[in-house]
C-alpha cells in the first residue's frame, strides 16, 4: 500500500487530499461495519475499514464476487496472451489450469469448471465463504444466451482473446 502522498500522486495517479476526504466520509457517514480498498494503476492507494478486515474478511461479498471472478480471468487471459502459460486460454478451457494461485482446490470437482462457466456464473459453485458445503451433485446450468453472449463479447473486447 502506498502511504507517502508523493508516491500516491506519482505512482498511483491519485490525489491524496481527495483520498483523505473519501476516508473521512466513509468513517463518518454512518456506523455500519465496512471495509473499502481503492486501487489505482495497480497500487493500493486507500484502505479503510471499521469492524471488518479488507484483507481477511470474505463475508458479504455477494455480487462483488462476479467482478472479482471476471478480473481474475482477465488477468489469466492476459498472461496466456503474453505466452506466460502453456497455451492461450479459450472459453472451453478448464479455468483453474490458468489460475495456479488458486491451488490447491478446495474441491477436486472444480478442476472441470470451464472459463465459460465461470463467466456465465453457471459452474455450480457453492458460496464456501458462507459455510455452504460443496456436497452433492453439481448441475451445470445453461446460460441465458443473450447474457452469455454479452459477457463473452465484453471479455473478448477487454482481453483480445478469440473464441476457439
Same domain, 69 and 46: no
Same domain, 127 and 69: yes
Same domain, 75 and 19: no
Q: Which is higher by pLDDT, 2 or 149?
A: 2
pLDDT-based confidence at residue 85 (cuts at 50, 70, 90): confident
- Say what the pLDDT of residue 94 is: 93
Whether 58 maps to a domain, the answer reads: no
User: Which residue range is the domain that position 40 belongs to?
Assistant: 5-50
- Judge contact between 120 and 138, C-beta under 8 A: no
Same domain, 135 and 69: yes
pLDDT-based confidence at residue 160 (cuts at 50, 70, 90): low
Whether 57 maps to a domain, the answer reads: no
Alpha-carbon distance of 89 to 87, in angstroms, equals 6
Same domain, 11 and 45: yes
Amino acid at each position: 500500500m502506498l502511504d507517502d502522498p508523493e508516491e500516491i500522486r506519482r505512482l498511483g495517479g491519485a490525489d491524496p487530499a481527495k483520498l483523505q476526504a473519501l476516508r473521512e466520509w466513509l468513517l463518518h457517514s454512518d456506523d455500519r461495519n465496512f471495509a473499502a480498498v481503492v486501487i489505482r494503476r495497480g497500487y493500493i492507494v486507500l484502505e479503510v475499514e471499521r469492524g471488518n478486515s479488507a484483507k481477511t474478511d470474505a463475508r458479504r461479498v455477494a455480487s462483488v464476487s462476479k467482478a472479482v471472478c471476471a478480473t481474475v480471468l482477465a488477468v489469466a487471459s492476459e498472461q496466456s496472451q503474453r505466452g506466460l502459460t502453456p497455451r492461450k486460454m479459450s472459453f472451453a478451457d478448464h479455468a483453474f489450469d490458468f489460475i495456479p494461485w488458486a491451488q490447491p482446490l478446495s474441491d477436486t470437482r472444480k478442476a472441470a469448471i470451464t472459463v465459460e462457466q465461470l463467466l456465465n456464473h453457471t459452474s455450480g459453485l457453492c458460496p464456501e465463504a458462507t459455510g455452504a458445503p460443496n456436497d452433492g451433485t453439481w448441475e451445470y446450468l445453461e446460460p441465458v444466451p443473450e447474457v452469455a453472449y454479452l459477457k463473452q463479447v465484453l471479455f473478448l473486447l477487454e482481453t483480445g482473446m478469440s473464441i476457439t
